[in-house]
Structure 1
Amino acid sequence: MDATWVVLLALVLGMSMGAGLSVFIFSAVKRGEQAQKVINPTVPDGVDQILGVLESIGIVLDASDNVLKASQGALALGIVRAERIVVPDVQTIADEVRRTGEPQTRRVTLEGARSGEITRILSVRAAPLGTRYVVVLANDLTESIRLDEVRRDFIANISHELKTPIGAISVLTEAIASAVDDPVQVRRFAEKMTTEADRLAALTADIINLSKLQANQALHMPELVRIDDVIDRAIESNAVVAGARNVVIARGEPSELTVYGEDPLLTMALQNLVSNAVQYSPDKSRVGVGARLVDDVVEISVTDQGVGIPKEDHDRVFERFYRLDGARSRNTGGTGLGLAIVKHTAQNHGGDVTVWSRPGQGSTFTLKLPVATGDDHVTPIPAARLERTQI
């Protein structure tokens, strides 16, 4: 009997100790989970989804400034590395939010880490997220700032370019009024006025053409275009000017190549290249025009024997209103928009334009376009559809 009580007592004690041990282990596990949450906090619900759909740069920081979440943009621009913000100016904004408890917005300049990388300008906004977190958002303003600068420069350049012919016409009008009794002088002033009016009309036409090329979906009626026809029209339109200066325009062998695009735009671009070659070549020199197929690209080259272009200016010559020799360009009737028109025409046709040139050795401009394949039928385009095309 005594032995039975001993066994029962031992059983009760064992169950009690087991229950107590279970409670202890459960409590320890709970405390461990709570400690783990403090050490490795989780991002509030919904933040992952928001960062995933944001086009801007997004970063979430915990109480110790560890990066819990970062968008691809933050990683790509090198703002976040090894779960830390490595751009001091961005970290400073986050620190300011912790100190004040208020959202902060500033612009940050992000220098390129490697040679050749562009400097980026970011609009950074940081704000508290709950009581422990800070969210940092950034928008890349680099491209919009560049476009604003281009627009401002374009407007300033247009204003400057328009002043010359408008001012000249105004002066010539006064001169004609004062020389009304001198037919010879009136005729001379009238001819100069016509020249300035033509220059003004040319500038206006080029501005309109360039604006159309820069608009969305500039190619409204793409069709199969024969490159040989484009070359023939470009040479023909510059034949009179070239003949007056004894400049020979030599045409290469017919290529029988075709591209898809708008014939008037391609003709305008090539006419501008040939016109430039003639204008900047010395008298009694030679200009070459030809086309060839390189892989799947049609290359239309225009070569002159002019003064050449320094290497540092090769990219800039395609900028609007950029002139190597401003005085000579104006004397030849140039508007400074011809090569910009060529560049945008090439881009709208899925191609490019390049230049090879050395001072004293002339220049070669090459218009590169994807070759057309398939149907060889071409619908002729009336010449009346062409707007003014010479620069």
Structure 2
Amino acid sequence: MTPVAWLAMALAFGCGVLVGALLLRRRAKQEVVARTLVPHRTRQVIGALQSGTVIVRRDRRASFSNHSASALGIARPDGALHEGVADLAERAWRTGQVVEQEVEVRRGVLGAVSQVHVRVTPIDEELALAVANDNTEQRAAEATRREFAVNVSHELKTPIGALSLLAENVEDTADDPEMVRQFAVKMRREARRLTKLIQEIIDISRLQGGESVLDHEEIDVAGVVHEAFEGARLAAETKRIELVADLRARPLVLGDRDLLVMAVRNLVDNAIAYSDAGSRVTASVTSHDDAVSVAVMDQGIGIDAKDQERIFERFYRTDPARARQTGGTGLGLSIVKHVALQHSGTVNVWSQPSVGSTFTMTLPGYQESP
């Protein structure tokens, strides 16, 4: 090899080393800059925040994000950023103002959808701060409240309209005592239905507000069944329905006695309302493995399988026509469900059309201290 060739190789090698050194220096400088963009103390503060927090870079990646942001699905530790958050950051930089919006995030292998509220504040030309909170439950609660308000308005219109119509009929037939008497009976029935509806709306609103079980006390479940039976006895005697209490066990639970009596009374009232005259309604109390169960069994019309999953929904009725005849509001079983939940319990149903139904409320048992 000639001296010129050796010189060329040496120059090429030197240039390569120089370029490599420059690249390494540039990369090291970028890493230093990246680290200084979010100082260690700032990272500690962001990491301690409950809200999902992300430092967004201009290249649509996360310079730093906390664990909450990863849990919400808006950023990953490797810097990947949700497209919706990156778009909001672009708007914030473009307008120079704080922007906020709800972003739809899909999480998990099943792709569960969450509504995440994101607020982005531009820090400078290269960085922005995104703060996110999951609004899924809040949205669901708002939808539930709106639905409840619509249902209440609809349900109140029926008895109020009936009372108004009956009052007009009484006025038109004032000279016919027999007709007045008949309309008066119907007005009393509608008034009782309206009173029951209003009371149950108050009850379920209180239960859903989390204000129910304020003072816990030791409760004899057998005594709860006795009290519920006493309250329902007149309705049972009117239909010649026999009330049977199977109370061989007398376990204790911890909770609110009035609420538990209301729940069992609703189950017994339902059993009476949907049973034929001359049949039997039985309530039993059992205790097993630290759990106490109250089962109310009837020999009534039963419930179709397609309705069994929905009967605990508010205002849901399997037979609206029969519910109007019996004075049912569609809230009784929903109240039972919420009372059970307030006592860390459950309620379920077994039913077969033309055979009958069994509603079972199960609560945690309580043992007296020795």
TM-score category, normalised to shorter length = 0.7 to 0.9
Contact 2:117 2:134 in 1 (8 A): yes
What displacement does 1:332 show?
Answer: 0.4
Identify the residue that residue 127 of structure 1 maps to in structure 2: 121
What displacement does 1:208 show?
Answer: 2.1
From 75, 83, 86, give the equivalent of 1:80: 75
The alignment status of 1:323 with 2:322, answered yes or no, reads no
Root-mean-square deviation (Å): 2.9
Q: What one-letter code is carried by the residue in structure 2 that aligns with 1:205?
A: Q
What displacement does 1:37 show?
Answer: 0.9
CA distance in 2 between partners of 1:177 and 1:31 (Å): 95
Q: Which structure exhibits the higher relative contact order, with contacts defined as CA atoms closer than 8 Å and separated by 6 or more residues?
A: 1
- Aligned partner of residue 315 in structure 2, secondary structure: coil
Name which of structure 1's ranges 270-279 and 117-126 shifts more when overlaid on structure 2: 117-126
Identify the residue that residue 191 of structure 1 maps to in structure 2: 185
The alignment status of 1:351 with 2:352, answered yes or no, reads no
CA distance in 2 between partners of 1:339 and 1:132 (Å): 57
Contact 1:68 1:83 in 2 (8 A): no
Q: What one-letter code is carried by the residue in structure 2 that aligns with 1:126?
A: V
CA distance in 2 between partners of 1:120 and 1:36 (Å): 34
Contact 2:250 2:285 in 1 (8 A): no
Identify the residue that residue 42 of structure 2 maps to in structure 1: 47
The alignment status of 1:103 with 2:98, answered yes or no, reads yes
Identify the residue that residue 275 of structure 2 maps to in structure 1: 281
- Aligned partner of residue 371 in structure 1, secondary structure: strand
The alignment status of 1:168 with 2:199, answered yes or no, reads no
What displacement does 1:100 show?
Answer: 5.1
- Aligned partner of residue 366 in structure 2, secondary structure: coil
Task: Indicate how the Cα distance of structure 1 residues 30 and 114 shifts in structure 2: closer, same or farther if over 3 A, else same.
Answer: closer
Q: What one-letter code is carried by the residue in structure 1 that aligns with 2:161?
A: G
Contact 1:66 1:83 in 2 (8 A): no
CA distance in 2 between partners of 1:112 and 1:285 (Å): 52
Identify the residue that residue 84 of structure 2 maps to in structure 1: 89
CA distance in 1 between partners of 2:44 and 2:305 (Å): 49
CA distance in 2 between partners of 1:53 and 1:173 (Å): 66
What percent identity do the matched residue pairs reach? 38
- Aligned partner of residue 249 in structure 1, secondary structure: strand
- Aligned partner of residue 81 in structure 1, secondary structure: coil
Question: How many matched pairs?
Answer: 349
| TM-score between both structures, scaled by the size of structure 1 | 0.79
For the pair shown, the structure with the greater C-alpha radius of gyration is: 1
CA distance in 1 between partners of 2:105 and 2:27 (Å): 42
- 1:146-157 pair list within 5 angstroms: 146-157=140-151
Contact 1:246 1:285 in 2 (8 A): yes
CA distance in 1 between partners of 2:256 and 2:98 (Å): 52
CA distance in 2 between partners of 1:219 and 1:359 (Å): 35
Task: Indicate how the Cα distance of structure 1 residues 330 and 118 shifts in structure 2: closer, same or farther if over 3 A, else same.
Answer: farther
Q: What is the CA deviation profile of residues 70-104 of structure 1, one whole-angstrom value per residue up to 9, with x for unaligned ones?
A: 22232223333352335332333234445555433
Unaligned runs of 5+ in 2: 1-23
What displacement does 1:197 show?
Answer: 1.0
CA distance in 2 between partners of 1:53 and 1:330 (Å): 56
CA distance in 2 between partners of 1:262 and 1:213 (Å): 12
Contact 1:65 1:84 in 2 (8 A): no
What displacement does 1:63 show?
Answer: 4.3
The alignment status of 1:204 with 2:198, answered yes or no, reads yes
Task: Indicate how the Cα distance of structure 1 residues 320 and 31 shifts in structure 2: closer, same or farther if over 3 A, else same.
Answer: closer
Contact 1:108 1:121 in 2 (8 A): yes
Task: Indicate how the Cα distance of structure 1 residues 359 and 141 shifts in structure 2: closer, same or farther if over 3 A, else same.
Answer: farther
Q: What is the CA deviation profile of residues 30-81 of structure 1, one whole-angstrom value per residue up to 9, with x for unaligned ones?
A: 9886343146554146532442343322112334444332222322233333
Contact 1:62 1:132 in 2 (8 A): yes
From 66, 79, 84, give the equivalent of 1:71: 66
Task: Indicate how the Cα distance of structure 1 residues 306 and 139 shifts in structure 2: closer, same or farther if over 3 A, else same.
Answer: same
What displacement does 1:182 show?
Answer: 1.1
The alignment status of 1:36 with 2:15, answered yes or no, reads no
- Aligned partner of residue 329 in structure 2, secondary structure: coil
Identify the residue that residue 368 of structure 1 maps to in structure 2: 362
Name which of structure 1's ranges 266-275 and 139-148 shifts more when overlaid on structure 2: 139-148
Name which of structure 1's ranges 211-220 and 155-164 shifts more when overlaid on structure 2: 211-220
Q: What is the CA deviation profile of residues 333-389 of structure 1, one whole-angstrom value per residue up to 9, with x for unaligned ones?
A: 11221112112212222222222334555332221212121159xxxxxxxxxxxxx
Task: Indicate how the Cα distance of structure 1 residues 119 and 281 shifts in structure 2: closer, same or farther if over 3 A, else same.
Answer: farther
CA distance in 2 between partners of 1:172 and 1:100 (Å): 63
CA distance in 1 between partners of 2:88 and 2:201 (Å): 44
CA distance in 1 between partners of 2:311 and 2:271 (Å): 14
Q: What is the CA deviation profile of residues 219-263 of structure 1, one whole-angstrom value per residue up to 9, with x for unaligned ones?
A: 233221111111112223223333433433332242111112222
Contact 2:60 2:81 in 1 (8 A): no
Contact 1:41 1:62 in 2 (8 A): no
What displacement does 1:310 show?
Answer: 4.3
What displacement does 1:137 show?
Answer: 1.7
Q: What one-letter code is carried by the residue in structure 2 that aligns with 1:355?
A: V
Name which of structure 1's ranges 98-107 and 161-170 shifts more when overlaid on structure 2: 98-107
What displacement does 1:308 show?
Answer: 3.5
